[in-house]
Amino acid sequence: MNMQELIKPLIQKNESKIVMIVLDGVGGLPNASGRTELETADTPNLDALARGSACGLHIPVAHGITPGSGPGHLGIFGYDPIKCQIGRGILEALGLGMEVRKTDVAVRCNYATIKEGVVTDRRAGRIPTEQSKKLTEKLQKEIKKIDDAELIFAPGMEHRFAVLMRFPDNLASDADMINDTDPQREGKAPVPPAALSKNAGRVSKIAEKLISKVQAILKNEEKANFILTRGFSNMPRIPNFDEAFGLNALAIATYPMYRGLARLVGMDTPALEGSVEDEITFLKQQYNEYDFFFLHVKKVDSYGEDGNFEGKAARIEEFDKLLPQILNLKPDVFVITGDHSTPAIMKGHSWHPVPVLIKSPYVLGGICNAFSERECVKGELGIFPALNIMPLALAHAGRLKKFGA
Protein backbone atom coordinates (compact mmCIF):
# COMPACT_ATOMS: atom_id res chain seq x y z
CA MET A 1 0.00 0.00 0.00
CA ASN A 2 1.41 3.40 -0.97
CA MET A 3 0.84 6.68 0.85
CA GLN A 4 -2.04 7.79 -1.39
CA GLU A 5 -3.86 4.49 -0.88
CA LEU A 6 -3.35 4.83 2.87
CA ILE A 7 -4.75 8.33 3.24
CA LYS A 8 -7.52 8.28 0.61
CA PRO A 9 -10.17 6.68 2.88
CA LEU A 10 -9.15 9.08 5.67
CA ILE A 11 -9.75 12.29 3.73
CA GLN A 12 -12.45 14.62 5.01
CA LYS A 13 -13.25 17.98 3.48
CA ASN A 14 -13.53 21.24 5.39
CA GLU A 15 -13.07 24.97 4.78
CA SER A 16 -9.34 25.09 5.55
CA LYS A 17 -6.80 26.72 3.24
CA ILE A 18 -3.34 25.28 2.49
CA VAL A 19 -0.66 27.42 0.85
CA MET A 20 2.54 25.76 -0.40
CA ILE A 21 5.41 28.00 -1.50
CA VAL A 22 8.14 26.29 -3.53
CA LEU A 23 11.39 28.24 -3.56
CA ASP A 24 12.93 26.31 -6.42
CA GLY A 25 16.39 24.95 -5.56
CA VAL A 26 16.43 26.70 -2.17
CA GLY A 27 18.83 24.28 -0.45
CA GLY A 28 22.52 25.08 -0.67
CA LEU A 29 26.01 24.50 0.63
CA PRO A 30 28.59 26.81 2.27
CA ASN A 31 30.93 28.87 0.13
CA ALA A 32 34.30 30.18 1.35
CA SER A 33 32.51 32.16 4.06
CA GLY A 34 31.33 28.92 5.66
CA ARG A 35 27.67 29.89 5.19
CA THR A 36 25.00 28.68 2.77
CA GLU A 37 22.89 30.99 0.63
CA LEU A 38 20.03 30.79 3.15
CA GLU A 39 22.41 31.57 6.00
CA THR A 40 23.92 34.48 4.07
CA ALA A 41 20.61 36.06 3.06
CA ASP A 42 18.98 38.61 5.38
CA THR A 43 15.62 36.93 6.01
CA PRO A 44 13.95 38.31 9.16
CA ASN A 45 10.46 37.22 8.09
CA LEU A 46 11.42 33.65 7.17
CA ASP A 47 13.43 33.32 10.37
CA ALA A 48 10.57 34.59 12.56
CA LEU A 49 8.20 32.19 10.82
CA ALA A 50 10.59 29.27 11.37
CA ARG A 51 10.72 29.99 15.11
CA GLY A 52 6.99 29.30 15.38
CA SER A 53 6.80 26.45 12.86
CA ALA A 54 7.57 22.77 12.51
CA CYS A 55 10.82 22.54 10.55
CA GLY A 56 12.91 19.78 9.03
CA LEU A 57 14.63 18.60 5.88
CA HIS A 58 13.04 16.46 3.21
CA ILE A 59 14.64 13.91 0.88
CA PRO A 60 13.14 14.49 -2.61
CA VAL A 61 13.68 10.96 -3.99
CA ALA A 62 16.13 8.91 -1.94
CA HIS A 63 19.43 9.41 -0.15
CA GLY A 64 22.18 10.28 -2.62
CA ILE A 65 19.80 10.66 -5.59
CA THR A 66 19.89 14.03 -7.36
CA PRO A 67 16.35 14.87 -8.56
CA GLY A 68 15.25 16.72 -11.63
CA SER A 69 12.53 19.34 -11.26
CA GLY A 70 9.83 16.81 -12.21
CA PRO A 71 10.58 14.23 -9.51
CA GLY A 72 11.30 17.03 -7.04
CA HIS A 73 7.86 18.56 -7.45
CA LEU A 74 5.99 15.26 -7.66
CA GLY A 75 7.41 14.26 -4.28
CA ILE A 76 6.24 17.40 -2.52
CA PHE A 77 2.86 17.07 -4.29
CA GLY A 78 2.49 13.66 -2.66
CA TYR A 79 3.34 11.38 -5.60
CA ASP A 80 6.05 8.76 -5.43
CA PRO A 81 8.66 10.09 -7.88
CA ILE A 82 10.10 6.60 -8.39
CA LYS A 83 6.76 5.08 -9.43
CA CYS A 84 5.56 8.20 -11.28
CA GLN A 85 8.44 8.88 -13.62
CA ILE A 86 7.48 11.65 -16.01
CA GLY A 87 9.55 13.05 -18.84
CA ARG A 88 10.51 16.71 -18.86
CA GLY A 89 9.17 17.07 -22.39
CA ILE A 90 5.61 16.27 -21.34
CA LEU A 91 5.81 18.77 -18.49
CA GLU A 92 7.07 21.56 -20.74
CA ALA A 93 4.46 20.83 -23.41
CA LEU A 94 1.58 20.78 -20.93
CA GLY A 95 2.86 23.92 -19.26
CA LEU A 96 2.84 25.70 -22.61
CA GLY A 97 -0.78 24.71 -23.11
CA MET A 98 -0.08 22.23 -25.91
CA GLU A 99 -2.64 19.52 -26.57
CA VAL A 100 -0.76 16.26 -25.99
CA ARG A 101 -2.23 13.10 -27.54
CA LYS A 102 -1.53 9.45 -26.82
CA THR A 103 0.48 9.09 -30.01
CA ASP A 104 2.64 12.15 -29.32
CA VAL A 105 6.24 12.29 -28.16
CA ALA A 106 7.11 15.49 -26.30
CA VAL A 107 10.61 16.96 -26.11
CA ARG A 108 11.89 19.87 -24.10
CA CYS A 109 14.57 21.85 -25.93
CA ASN A 110 17.12 24.50 -25.03
CA TYR A 111 18.58 26.93 -27.50
CA ALA A 112 22.34 26.66 -27.07
CA THR A 113 25.60 28.02 -28.45
CA ILE A 114 27.95 25.64 -30.23
CA LYS A 115 31.40 26.38 -31.65
CA GLU A 116 33.59 23.93 -33.52
CA GLY A 117 31.41 21.04 -32.39
CA VAL A 118 31.57 21.95 -28.69
CA VAL A 119 28.79 23.46 -26.55
CA THR A 120 30.01 26.81 -25.22
CA ASP A 121 26.72 27.87 -23.59
CA ARG A 122 23.98 25.34 -22.77
CA ARG A 123 21.36 28.10 -22.48
CA ALA A 124 22.43 30.47 -25.28
CA GLY A 125 23.07 33.21 -22.75
CA ARG A 126 19.46 32.87 -21.52
CA ILE A 127 18.28 34.76 -24.60
CA PRO A 128 15.20 36.99 -24.11
CA THR A 129 11.84 35.25 -24.35
CA GLU A 130 10.80 37.43 -27.29
CA GLN A 131 13.87 36.39 -29.31
CA SER A 132 13.27 32.75 -28.44
CA LYS A 133 9.67 33.09 -29.61
CA LYS A 134 10.75 34.45 -33.01
CA LEU A 135 13.28 31.66 -33.48
CA THR A 136 10.71 29.02 -32.56
CA GLU A 137 8.18 30.47 -35.00
CA LYS A 138 10.87 30.32 -37.69
CA LEU A 139 11.53 26.65 -36.95
CA GLN A 140 7.81 25.86 -37.11
CA LYS A 141 7.55 27.59 -40.47
CA GLU A 142 10.43 25.62 -41.97
CA ILE A 143 9.98 22.22 -40.28
CA LYS A 144 6.48 20.80 -40.43
CA LYS A 145 7.11 17.08 -40.84
CA ILE A 146 9.97 14.57 -40.60
CA ASP A 147 9.28 11.07 -41.95
CA ASP A 148 5.80 10.15 -40.71
CA ALA A 149 5.78 12.53 -37.73
CA GLU A 150 4.15 15.94 -37.73
CA LEU A 151 6.30 18.50 -35.83
CA ILE A 152 4.59 21.04 -33.55
CA PHE A 153 6.70 23.74 -31.86
CA ALA A 154 5.83 25.99 -28.91
CA PRO A 155 8.04 28.76 -27.45
CA GLY A 156 8.73 28.83 -23.73
CA MET A 157 10.51 31.16 -21.33
CA GLU A 158 13.95 32.51 -22.21
CA HIS A 159 15.99 29.80 -23.99
CA ARG A 160 13.41 27.03 -23.68
CA PHE A 161 10.85 25.63 -26.10
CA ALA A 162 8.96 22.38 -26.65
CA VAL A 163 8.39 20.12 -29.64
CA LEU A 164 5.69 17.52 -30.17
CA MET A 165 6.33 14.67 -32.60
CA ARG A 166 2.84 13.60 -33.60
CA PHE A 167 2.77 10.07 -34.98
CA PRO A 168 -0.13 8.44 -36.88
CA ASP A 169 -0.02 5.45 -34.53
CA ASN A 170 1.01 4.52 -31.00
CA LEU A 171 4.23 2.68 -31.87
CA ALA A 172 6.49 5.36 -30.37
CA SER A 173 5.62 4.43 -26.79
CA ASP A 174 9.24 3.98 -25.69
CA ALA A 175 10.07 7.67 -26.07
CA ASP A 176 11.62 7.86 -22.61
CA MET A 177 14.25 5.36 -23.78
CA ILE A 178 16.17 8.07 -25.66
CA ASN A 179 19.00 9.87 -23.93
CA ASP A 180 19.19 13.64 -23.54
CA THR A 181 21.54 15.35 -25.98
CA ASP A 182 22.52 17.97 -23.38
CA PRO A 183 26.08 17.13 -22.19
CA GLN A 184 25.27 18.94 -18.90
CA ARG A 185 28.52 20.91 -19.04
CA GLU A 186 30.02 23.50 -21.34
CA GLY A 187 33.14 22.47 -23.22
CA LYS A 188 31.71 19.13 -24.30
CA ALA A 189 30.17 17.95 -27.56
CA PRO A 190 26.41 17.34 -27.71
CA VAL A 191 25.38 13.74 -27.08
CA PRO A 192 23.74 12.01 -30.08
CA PRO A 193 20.06 11.05 -29.51
CA ALA A 194 20.57 7.30 -29.23
CA ALA A 195 17.79 4.73 -28.79
CA LEU A 196 18.16 2.85 -25.50
CA SER A 197 15.58 0.24 -26.50
CA LYS A 198 14.55 -1.46 -29.74
CA ASN A 199 11.23 0.38 -29.95
CA ALA A 200 12.81 3.80 -29.48
CA GLY A 201 14.76 3.73 -32.72
CA ARG A 202 11.98 5.35 -34.73
CA VAL A 203 11.95 8.43 -32.50
CA SER A 204 15.73 8.71 -32.19
CA LYS A 205 16.12 8.85 -35.98
CA ILE A 206 13.59 11.68 -36.23
CA ALA A 207 15.31 13.49 -33.36
CA GLU A 208 18.64 13.22 -35.16
CA LYS A 209 17.13 14.68 -38.34
CA LEU A 210 15.39 17.42 -36.35
CA ILE A 211 18.65 18.56 -34.70
CA SER A 212 20.41 18.60 -38.07
CA LYS A 213 17.67 20.65 -39.72
CA VAL A 214 17.56 23.12 -36.85
CA GLN A 215 21.34 23.59 -36.90
CA ALA A 216 21.17 24.44 -40.60
CA ILE A 217 18.41 27.00 -40.00
CA LEU A 218 20.13 28.64 -37.00
CA LYS A 219 23.71 28.55 -38.30
CA ASN A 220 23.97 32.35 -38.58
CA GLU A 221 22.64 33.09 -35.09
CA GLU A 222 25.23 34.59 -32.74
CA LYS A 223 24.10 32.73 -29.60
CA ALA A 224 21.16 30.43 -30.35
CA ASN A 225 22.78 28.45 -33.17
CA PHE A 226 21.99 24.96 -31.87
CA ILE A 227 19.48 23.05 -29.75
CA LEU A 228 19.85 20.53 -26.94
CA THR A 229 16.99 18.06 -26.45
CA ARG A 230 15.84 16.75 -23.09
CA GLY A 231 13.13 14.58 -21.63
CA PHE A 232 11.73 12.59 -24.56
CA SER A 233 8.44 11.32 -23.19
CA ASN A 234 4.88 10.12 -23.78
CA MET A 235 1.77 11.10 -21.84
CA PRO A 236 1.66 9.14 -18.54
CA ARG A 237 -1.29 8.12 -16.39
CA ILE A 238 -1.30 9.67 -12.93
CA PRO A 239 -3.98 10.01 -10.18
CA ASN A 240 -5.82 13.33 -10.05
CA PHE A 241 -4.83 15.66 -7.19
CA ASP A 242 -8.44 16.25 -6.09
CA GLU A 243 -9.18 12.50 -6.06
CA ALA A 244 -5.96 11.73 -4.20
CA PHE A 245 -6.12 14.48 -1.56
CA GLY A 246 -9.63 15.98 -1.68
CA LEU A 247 -8.32 19.43 -2.59
CA ASN A 248 -9.42 21.94 -5.21
CA ALA A 249 -5.98 23.23 -6.21
CA LEU A 250 -4.57 26.25 -8.03
CA ALA A 251 -1.04 26.45 -9.42
CA ILE A 252 0.56 29.90 -9.59
CA ALA A 253 3.67 29.65 -11.75
CA THR A 254 5.13 31.75 -14.55
CA TYR A 255 7.41 29.07 -16.03
CA PRO A 256 5.68 26.55 -18.31
CA MET A 257 7.31 23.39 -17.00
CA TYR A 258 5.96 23.95 -13.50
CA ARG A 259 2.49 24.68 -14.81
CA GLY A 260 2.89 21.46 -16.77
CA LEU A 261 3.64 19.53 -13.59
CA ALA A 262 0.62 21.00 -11.86
CA ARG A 263 -1.64 20.46 -14.88
CA LEU A 264 -0.51 16.85 -15.09
CA VAL A 265 -1.80 16.13 -11.57
CA GLY A 266 -5.03 18.06 -12.15
CA MET A 267 -4.47 21.51 -10.65
CA ASP A 268 -5.90 24.58 -12.35
CA THR A 269 -3.01 26.18 -14.24
CA PRO A 270 -3.75 29.64 -15.67
CA ALA A 271 -0.99 31.10 -17.84
CA LEU A 272 0.77 33.87 -15.92
CA GLU A 273 3.57 36.31 -16.55
CA GLY A 274 5.42 38.69 -14.29
CA SER A 275 7.30 38.81 -11.01
CA VAL A 276 6.89 36.97 -7.72
CA GLU A 277 4.93 39.98 -6.48
CA ASP A 278 2.55 39.53 -9.43
CA GLU A 279 2.15 35.87 -8.43
CA ILE A 280 1.27 36.92 -4.87
CA THR A 281 -1.24 39.44 -6.18
CA PHE A 282 -2.90 36.66 -8.17
CA LEU A 283 -2.92 34.47 -5.04
CA LYS A 284 -4.82 37.18 -3.17
CA GLN A 285 -7.33 37.54 -6.00
CA GLN A 286 -8.05 33.79 -6.12
CA TYR A 287 -7.83 33.05 -2.42
CA ASN A 288 -11.54 32.44 -1.85
CA GLU A 289 -11.88 30.10 -4.85
CA TYR A 290 -9.59 27.17 -3.91
CA ASP A 291 -8.51 24.94 -1.00
CA PHE A 292 -4.86 24.47 -1.99
CA PHE A 293 -2.41 26.90 -3.56
CA PHE A 294 0.96 26.03 -5.08
CA LEU A 295 3.08 29.15 -5.69
CA HIS A 296 6.37 28.66 -7.51
CA VAL A 297 9.43 30.94 -7.20
CA LYS A 298 11.90 30.11 -9.96
CA LYS A 299 14.85 32.52 -9.87
CA VAL A 300 16.35 31.10 -6.66
CA ASP A 301 17.20 27.99 -8.68
CA SER A 302 18.34 29.91 -11.77
CA TYR A 303 21.04 31.79 -9.86
CA GLY A 304 22.15 28.58 -8.17
CA GLU A 305 22.55 26.88 -11.54
CA ASP A 306 24.58 29.84 -12.79
CA GLY A 307 26.92 29.51 -9.79
CA ASN A 308 25.90 32.97 -8.58
CA PHE A 309 25.96 32.59 -4.79
CA GLU A 310 25.26 36.26 -4.04
CA GLY A 311 22.50 36.40 -6.65
CA LYS A 312 20.76 33.35 -5.17
CA ALA A 313 20.95 34.87 -1.68
CA ALA A 314 19.51 38.12 -3.06
CA ARG A 315 16.54 36.31 -4.63
CA ILE A 316 15.82 34.68 -1.25
CA GLU A 317 15.93 38.13 0.35
CA GLU A 318 13.48 39.46 -2.25
CA PHE A 319 11.00 36.72 -1.37
CA ASP A 320 11.45 37.39 2.35
CA LYS A 321 10.35 41.00 1.88
CA LEU A 322 7.18 39.81 0.15
CA LEU A 323 6.38 37.06 2.68
CA PRO A 324 4.18 39.24 4.98
CA GLN A 325 1.72 39.73 2.11
CA ILE A 326 1.08 35.98 2.07
CA LEU A 327 1.00 35.68 5.86
CA ASN A 328 -1.69 38.39 5.97
CA LEU A 329 -4.02 35.93 4.23
CA LYS A 330 -3.78 33.77 7.38
CA PRO A 331 -3.77 30.34 5.71
CA ASP A 332 -4.64 27.48 8.05
CA VAL A 333 -1.55 25.61 6.91
CA PHE A 334 1.47 27.29 5.38
CA VAL A 335 4.28 25.25 3.81
CA ILE A 336 7.57 26.65 2.52
CA THR A 337 10.13 24.35 0.92
CA GLY A 338 11.98 23.62 -2.33
CA ASP A 339 11.78 20.85 -4.88
CA HIS A 340 15.51 20.13 -4.56
CA SER A 341 18.77 21.78 -3.51
CA THR A 342 20.81 23.80 -6.02
CA PRO A 343 24.06 24.80 -4.32
CA ALA A 344 25.73 27.65 -6.20
CA ILE A 345 29.12 26.06 -5.59
CA MET A 346 27.93 23.02 -7.59
CA LYS A 347 26.15 25.00 -10.34
CA GLY A 348 23.36 22.44 -10.50
CA HIS A 349 20.86 20.28 -8.65
CA SER A 350 22.19 18.12 -5.84
CA TRP A 351 21.15 15.23 -3.62
CA HIS A 352 21.26 17.26 -0.40
CA PRO A 353 18.14 17.39 1.84
CA VAL A 354 15.87 20.41 1.38
CA PRO A 355 14.67 22.76 4.15
CA VAL A 356 10.95 22.61 4.87
CA LEU A 357 8.70 24.62 7.17
CA ILE A 358 5.08 23.91 8.16
CA LYS A 359 3.12 26.56 10.03
CA SER A 360 -0.22 25.74 11.69
CA PRO A 361 -1.78 26.05 15.16
CA TYR A 362 -0.73 22.44 15.85
CA VAL A 363 3.07 22.52 15.77
CA LEU A 364 5.55 22.30 18.60
CA GLY A 365 7.75 25.11 17.30
CA GLY A 366 10.28 27.03 19.32
CA ILE A 367 13.15 24.79 18.18
CA CYS A 368 14.70 26.51 15.16
CA ASN A 369 15.97 30.08 15.24
CA ALA A 370 16.07 30.56 11.47
CA PHE A 371 15.04 29.05 8.16
CA SER A 372 18.28 27.43 7.03
CA GLU A 373 19.77 24.01 6.44
CA ARG A 374 21.58 23.83 9.78
CA GLU A 375 18.62 25.14 11.79
CA CYS A 376 16.00 22.99 10.05
CA VAL A 377 17.94 19.80 10.81
CA LYS A 378 17.22 20.51 14.51
CA GLY A 379 13.46 20.76 13.92
CA GLU A 380 10.64 18.50 15.02
CA LEU A 381 10.11 17.06 11.54
CA GLY A 382 13.65 15.67 11.30
CA ILE A 383 14.86 14.38 7.95
CA PHE A 384 11.98 12.68 6.14
CA PRO A 385 10.75 11.71 2.63
CA ALA A 386 9.20 14.48 0.55
CA LEU A 387 6.16 12.20 0.10
CA ASN A 388 5.20 12.93 3.70
CA ILE A 389 4.70 16.67 3.19
CA MET A 390 1.17 16.38 1.76
CA PRO A 391 -0.13 14.01 4.49
CA LEU A 392 1.35 16.37 7.09
CA ALA A 393 -0.31 19.37 5.45
CA LEU A 394 -3.66 17.54 5.34
CA ALA A 395 -3.36 16.48 8.98
CA HIS A 396 -2.52 20.03 10.13
CA ALA A 397 -5.55 21.25 8.14
CA GLY A 398 -7.85 18.78 9.94
CA ARG A 399 -8.49 16.97 6.67
CA LEU A 400 -7.55 13.43 7.77
CA LYS A 401 -9.73 11.21 9.95
CA LYS A 402 -8.36 8.76 12.49
CA PHE A 403 -6.86 5.57 11.08
CA GLY A 404 -8.37 2.38 12.52
CA ALA A 405 -10.69 1.78 15.44
Does 70 or 300 have the greater pLDDT score? Answer: 300
Q: Say what the pTM is.
A: 0.78
45 phi and psi angles, rounded to 5 deg: -75, -45
Q: What is the pLDDT of residue 102?
A: 83
In the chain, CATH 3.40.720.10 covers: 15-84+238-396
pLDDT at 202: 86
Question: Tell me: the pLDDT tens digits for 121-170?
Answer: 999 999 999 999 999 999 999 999 999 999 999 999 889 999 999 998 76
What's the chain's average pLDDT?
Answer: 93
Specify the higher pLDDT residue, 396 or 230: 396
What does the pLDDT read at residue 175? 66
Work out the average pLDDT over 240-263.
Answer: 92
Q: Which of 52-61, 166-175, 195-204, 234-243 has the highest mean pLDDT?
A: 52-61
Assign a CATH topology to domain 15-84+238-396: Alkaline Phosphatase, subunit A (3.40.720)
